[in-house]
Chains A and B, each alone.
Chain A
Amino acid sequence: MFSSIDEVIERFATNKYIASRRIATVIYLASAMGKPVLVEGPAGVGKTDLGKVLAAALDLEMIRLQCYEGLDEGKALYEWEYAKQLLYTQILKDKISEVLVGTQGLAQAVDRIAAEDEVFFSERFVLPRPLLKAITNDKRIVLLIDEIDKADAEFEAFLLELLSDFQVTVPEIGTFKAKQIPLVILTSNNAREMSDALKRRCLHLYIDFPNKEQELEIIRIKVPEAAEKLADEVVQVVHALRKLDLKKTPGISETLDWIKALTLLNVQSLDSALVDETLDTIVKYEGDVRKAQEELKEYLRRVRTRRGGTAAAGPGPAGSTDKDLLN
């Protein structure tokens, strides 16, 4: 486990994830207190990544459950392998007749069978799904429950027992208690509010968009081949875009995609014609693309007038780069 918050930050950084002190504190608390973490925030800020990186940082296996509407107990917790049970019953037909030898009447036969029913309702025929796997694992693992806001409210009820006591009850067999308490991360895009019962059992972490320095740092780590100047311009524009009222605000993953695209196309700075064509890496809706183009023009105009101003003041050390920009 983690011995300090700084260790969390360090290990995350080794795995290419810039964790702010706030994030690191909550992770440290979660591992020290053994409580799950509910991570909320806008799309694309690194919530799912947090789970993956946590597993990598602690060198643990990760079990992932992707939630969607209609996800039920059978797909998430466990299911009985009916087909297997049927198959075994068919194959063992003769054996079953042997067991029933000597019984008088239906009642006795049923009793005889009932005495054997642990065979067919045993762990052998339970198909464990992610949540049960997480509980019955021998070693400690990280359980990532992704996009829990997409699942419906009934699903949350299954999780309650799991998250507070780390045990799962299968009516026919019994209760499975976790041998090692897993580290649970739940992510949510805030499409709907989680029930209070669920929130009560978790620590809460809200990840917002990073500030400019943090985002630059992230670009440096994840896209090291990007030019520093280009990265700076990209961050400025993206931050301006986030202040606009877009249908989908660009997240960190969009920023990274954009700068990767620009670097691949060998673009040096944002006033190139190619930039327009790459805009759909950061904004994904028609109306938003238009707004992004306007914002980009606005930005270039501002930069030009600013640089133009210093150029008018007389050729200085920045003289040569000005000419590049104005061309």
Chain B
Amino acid sequence: MEDKLVEFANLLRQNGVRVSLAETLDAIGASEVTGLAERDLFRAALRATMIKRASELPVFEELFDVYFTGLGEIIKGASKAVQDALSMSDQDFQQFLDEMEQMLKNHGQELSELAKQLLQNNSGQLERMMRDAARAVRMQGIQRTIEENYFARALARALGFDKLEQEIKELREELSRLDLGAALRAKMEEYLDRRLKMLDDIIRKYVRQEREKRDMKAREEQRMNQLADKSFYYLSDEELEKMREAVTRLAQRLKNIIAVRRKRMKKGRFDIKRTLRSNLEYGGVPFKLRFERRKREKPQILIMCDVSDSVRNASRFMLQFVYSLQDLYSRVRSFVFVSDIGEVTEHFRTNDVKQALDVALKGDIINVYAHSDFGRAFRNFVGDHLGAVNKRTTVIVLGDARNNYNLPHDWCLREIKQRARRIIWLNPESRNTWGFGDSEMERYAIHCDLVEECRNLNQLYRVIDQLVPR
């Protein structure tokens, strides 16, 4: 049992749940308290000891079902199927089994362990034998579907299937020689046949299940890595949805990290006034020392997103990310532009993020079907909204800088830079293409403090990480 729990802990770790050694020990202790008989109880014991974050619960539930269902259920299911095929009630079946046992005893011939357990319907023993055989053929190494047949044969051989077939054949011959009623004999023959077939089925199902378990681990990992590295351009609808969830999760993770970071602030100088005041009850004797606390400033963010077709997905996730982290900033103002520029801050304030994003990207604020004209957008911004920028503001521009050969008006960026704390430009295009064709990236980059490529989720995360307060 401990081996199984350790293996299960490993499985959880491979799926992103950090289970420590101490927690695995707790799980073993808890499972001793609850016992293994009741599945729900056992599940609850494992859940309480191994899963310490609510977000990991769904992963646990899925893996538990896959890992702990298993052979026992398959065997029981198969036995039930045999019973139904013979159309016997539970009582009749039990009686039948007793008669079978009797017959085997009278038979006198030594049957193999496998035959005995199989024919007497001892699911527990059968399960144990199969597991031992599986370990002997190293079934934990199974990876691909094409290996199933190989392992099924190996398992059968390890169990002694061939010998079993021989024995069943002999038993049938025995039966015909014994003095039994016709009906009973027919039933027994059928029983023998079905049992043999049942074992065959069980072996196959077991092998398939083990393969699926291993496969699932690999698949899940792959999926997550792929999503984070997938360029924003090439996302299908389904992936868009998954990306949205991933962004929410990343934002939450980032918030947690920030919360811990903040606490590690250094204390300031010794504060005489506060010390004296708080020690008045002790007659001024400084039992308690007080220090100055450095004020944490929440930065302000002003974000300008290009929402033309080519860049829309990147803008979408950037906006979503920034708004999920809203509580970390004292003020977030957002603008969208293609050729015109318009403010969308209010929409994020009143609606929830998803609705606001739709409004911002759809074309209700500005004309999204125009051709990109960064110069014009910047000029309008400087004309109408420059007041929004002050020395605490970090300005983020998200765009591919492809100006369609319009006037770049990069003096606007210089204006903004003079007033702002810093300007960050995020370009969803690959760095190799910057400066080619109608890209004005190099001209704009001169006025920016930081220019980063921002094509997929990982890069987005790294950028945001730099933005948050220390």
- List residues of A whose CB falls within 8 A of some B CB: 5, 21-22, 25-26, 28-29, 32-33, 35, 37-38, 40-41, 80, 82-83, 86, 152-154, 190, 192-196, 199-200, 202-206, 245, 287
Contacts and interface: CB of A to CB of B under 8 A. Distances in A.
Given A28-B33, A29-B30, A153-B264, 20 more contacts: A22-B44, A25-B40, A26-B44, A29-B44, A29-B49, A41-B54, A80-B287, A82-B282, A83-B281, A83-B282, A153-B260, A153-B263, A192-B255, A193-B256, A196-B52, A200-B22, A202-B52, A203-B30, A204-B53, A245-B352
Given A154-B263, A192-B256, A29 B283 contact: no
B452 interface: no
B52 A204 contact: yes
Contacts of A202: 52
B285 interface: yes
Contacts of B48: 25-26, 29, 37, 203-205
B160 interface: no
Contacts of B20: 196, 200
B33 A33 contact: yes
Interface string B1-41: 00000000000000000101011001001100110000011
Instruction: Name the 9 nearest CB pairs between A and B, nearest first.
Output: A25-B44, A199-B52, A192-B259, A203-B48, A193-B256, A245-B352, A204-B52, A26-B48, A206-B54
Interface of B: 18, 20, 22-23, 26, 29-30, 33-34, 40-41, 44-45, 47-49, 51-54, 57, 255-256, 259-260, 263-264, 281-283, 285, 287, 350, 352
A287 B259 CA distance: 27
26 contacts: A21-B40, A21-B44, A22-B44, A22-B47, A25-B44, A29-B33, A29-B45, A80-B287, A82-B285, A83-B281, A86-B283, A153-B260, A192-B255, A192-B259, A192-B260, A193-B259, A193-B260, A196-B18, A196-B52, A200-B23, A204-B47, A204-B49, A204-B51, A204-B53, A206-B54, A245-B352
Nearest to A152: B263
A86 B282 contact: yes
B52 A38 contact: yes
B350 A193 contact: no
Contact of B54 (A40, A154, A287): A40
A228 to B, nearest CB: 30
A5 B41 contact: yes
Contacts of A203: 26, 30, 48-49
A29 B263 contact: no
B258 to A, nearest CB: 9
Contacts of B40: 21, 25
Given A25-B45, A26-B44, A82 B287 contact: yes
A283 to B, nearest CB: 15
A29 B34 contact: yes
Contacts of A33: 26, 29-30, 33
Contacts of A28: 33
B38 to A, nearest CB: 9
Contacts of A5: 41
A32 B29 CA distance: 10
A26 B260 CA distance: 29
Nearest to B352: A245
A26 B44 CA distance: 7
Nearest to A154: B263
A96 to B, nearest CB: 17
Contacts of B259: 192-193
Nearest to B257: A193
A203 B22 CA distance: 12
Contacts of B260: 153, 192-193, 195
Contacts of B52: 38, 194, 196, 199-200, 202, 204
B215 to A, nearest CB: 29
Nearest to B255: A192
Contacts of A153: 260, 263-264
B26 A35 contact: yes
Nearest to A25: B44
Nearest to A191: B259
Contacts of B22: 200
Contacts of A193: 53, 256, 259-260
A107 B49 CA distance: 57
Q: Which of A192, A196, A204, A287 has the most CB of B within 10 A?
A: A204
A28 B51 CA distance: 17
A297 to B, nearest CB: 19
Given A25-B45, A26-B44, A193-B53, A86 B23 contact: no
Contacts of B54: 40-41, 190, 206
Contacts of B282: 82-83, 86
Contacts of B264: 153
A199 B47 CA distance: 13
Q: Which of B41, B285, B350 has the most CB of A within 10 A?
A: B41
B276 to A, nearest CB: 15
Contacts of B350: 287
B191 to A, nearest CB: 40
Nearest to B50: A204
Nearest to B354: A245
Nearest to A155: B263
A37 B45 CA distance: 12
Nearest to B44: A25
A62 B158 CA distance: 60
Contacts of B18: 196
Nearest to A195: B260
Q: Which of B54, B260, B285 has the most CB of A within 10 A?
A: B54
A25 B41 contact: yes
Contacts of A40: 54
A8 to B, nearest CB: 12
Contacts of A35: 26
Nearest to B41: A25
A41 B49 CA distance: 17
A35 B22 CA distance: 13
B104 to A, nearest CB: 41
A202 B50 CA distance: 10
Contacts of A38: 52
B214 to A, nearest CB: 28
Nearest to A164: B22
Nearest to A244: B352
